[in-house]
Amino acid sequence: MSTRTALLALVVTTGMAQAQTQEPLSAIDWLTDPPQNLPGTVLLEPPVTQTGLQPDVHVTPLEALSPPLGLVSSSVTGLPVDLWQGSDPARLAELIDRVPVRSNPAMQRLLFTLLLSEARAPAGSDTQDTLLLARLDRLMALGASDPVQSLVQLAGPTDSQDRFQRWFDATLLTGDEDRSCTALIAQPHLSRDYAAQIFCKARRGDWGSAALTLEAAHALAELPQDKLDLLDRFLSPELYEGAAYLPQPDDPDPLTFRLFEAIGERLPSAPLPYAFANADLRDVAGWKAQIEAAERLTRIGALTPNQLLGLYTERSPAASGAVWDRVAAVQRFETALNTGNPEAIAKTLPMVWQQMKKVGLEVPFAELFAARLSAQSLPVPKAENLRWRIMLLSEYYETAALETPDGSRQNQFLAALAQGDPSRATSPSPLADAISQGFAWAAPIPSDINALLENGQLGEAILESMQLFAHGARGNLVDLTAAIAAFRKVGLEDTARRAALQLMILQGT
């Protein structure tokens, strides 16, 4: 054996001997004697299955998950980004389109939260636009053209003709049509509507091309005659000086509305859908038209009450009657509040409240003035009772519930309801009975809604509950109980209380 071979054998033999005398590797000090006061549980080994069965594995292709889309972060709304997961997009679109919210501001607020919250569309390649378009269309129906414009811009307004059409309509009503027209001129395929092409070319100053396109539309009969007549006057107003006004359309689209405005024959927005009221908020409309438009949009929840208050207090009323009486009443009441005189507040509060009731603005009024009214105590019992109820219609309802203006059964029940425990007070009516049952700790929820929740279909469950609430508000008290129980089941306690308070107070029961 060579010297080198003998040396190698010696090293190997020595190493084996040492390995036999060493502690095993598992005997590292902190494993055999783990340190104390570790920050929480330390998992020293992976969890071990208790059976030999193969576990269920759920796989979702990465491309099937669309990015979350919304204007308000889920951390703000409290709704998860997978709000719509597991639901059929067509069913969601149907519910979003028809869930009624007009008569209850709490339901309006909830629907806007659902539509604007950052959320991911259900998995699938063709589902994102189905849900997006449904959200955009309902927002537009509610008069929220600014959020429509912002939401579709976030999604990508030029990704499809359907998206572009919603964007174009919204910008026409917000006065921001130069943005959408620029996109259309650069990508004419976004719209096949000759009228849109003509309008945008003219807006961009290309009158010659706009006239050629209009001639082509005449020759090809691509547009109805009434639209052609309107475009003729839009491009060549000098030819129609002194001509009779065009017949006003019953159901104009936003472009038709703006074209009539451009030729000096402005259409009234009052008989048109809510979205058209946004056009009257611009400076081109008079003060009266701006106030009336703001009242419509505030009533449906599409405009913040502060914007309406700004219009009410912009200047002194120009006359009396109708809108001017409301303006005068608000200004007198705000003056009384500023003085801090309880007698003056007690005198002006009932009058302004009656004006707000005429136009269905009780809750926006409460949101505007409840904070300042909370610091007051009015010397007239009737005015004090009204002040207290106004506070119940605001976000200060829990504070108001700590002390009632009198011991009446109605007020005792309202106070208990505001604190989430109406069963501790005597119910004053069948409506109050149904509401109280909905707040019971063991109140059952409908099996179909419960199945949706167990399947993780939270958004659909909330929309179905809103449908039930609308039925209940119209007199189906069983549905009202079920809706309140469902809202509380999913953590919408504030919504349940405020919706019930608004139902009790505004219906006067």
How far apart CA 230 and CA 210 sit, in angstroms, is: 14
Residues 267 and 304 in one domain: no
Same-domain check for residues 204 and 252: yes
- Judge whether 382 lies within some domain: yes
103 belongs to a structural domain: no
The whole-number average pLDDT for the span 416-442 is: 96
In this structure, is residue 165 part of a structural domain? Answer: no
Q: How many domains does the chain have?
A: 2
> In terms of Cα–Cα distance, which of 268, 94, 257 is closest to 170?
257
Q: Residue 87: left (phi > 0), alpha (psi -120 to 50), or beta?
A: beta
Q: Which residue has the higher pLDDT, 12 or 235?
A: 235
Same domain, 234 and 262: yes
Each residue's pLDDT tens digit, 205-241: 999 999 999 999 999 999 999 999 999 999 999 999 9
Domain co-membership, 293 together with 263: no
The residue count of the chain comes to: 509
Asked if residue 127 belongs to a domain, the reply is no
Reduced 3-state DSSP string for 331-383: HHHHHHHHHCCHHHHHHHHHHHHHHHHHCCCHHHHHHHHHHHHCCCCCCCHHH
Q: Does residue 214 sit in the same domain as residue 293? A: no
Do the domain assignments include residue 391? yes
In this predicted model, what pLDDT tens digit does every residue of 270-314 receive, in sequence order?
999 999 999 999 888 889 999 999 999 999 999 999 999 999 999
Residues 320 and 382 reside in one and the same domain: yes
C-alpha closest to that of 488 among 412, 448, 451, 436? 436
296 and 370 assigned to the same domain: yes
- Residue for token digits 């006065």? 175
Range in 55-59, 284-288, 430-434 with the lowest mean pLDDT: 55-59
Nearest alpha-carbon partner for 309 in 273, 352, 358, 354: 352
pTM of the model: 0.85
Average pLDDT over residues 391-398: 97
Give a yes or no: residue 332 inside a domain.
Answer: yes
Does a structural domain hold residue 364? Answer: yes
Q: What is the 3-state secondary structure (H, E, C) of 448-507?
A: HHHHHHHCCCHHHHHHHHHHHHHHHHCCCHHHHHHHHHHHHHCCCHHHHHHHHHHHHHHC
> Which pLDDT band, with edges at 50, 70 and 90, does 67 fall under?
confident
CB 122 within 8 A of CB 85: yes
Same domain, 266 and 361: no
In a shared domain, residues 312 and 387: yes
Determine, yes or no, domain membership for 445.
Answer: no
Same domain assignment for residues 255 and 340: no
Cβ atoms of 114 and 142 closer than 8 Å:
no
Q: What is the pLDDT of residue 64?
A: 52
Are 254 and 318 in the same domain?
A: no
Q: What's residue 32's pLDDT? A: 36
Q: Identify whether residues 297 and 399 lie together within a single domain.
A: yes
Enclosing domain of residue 336:
289-406
Query: Could you say which of 383, 406, 429 is where a domain stops?
Result: 406
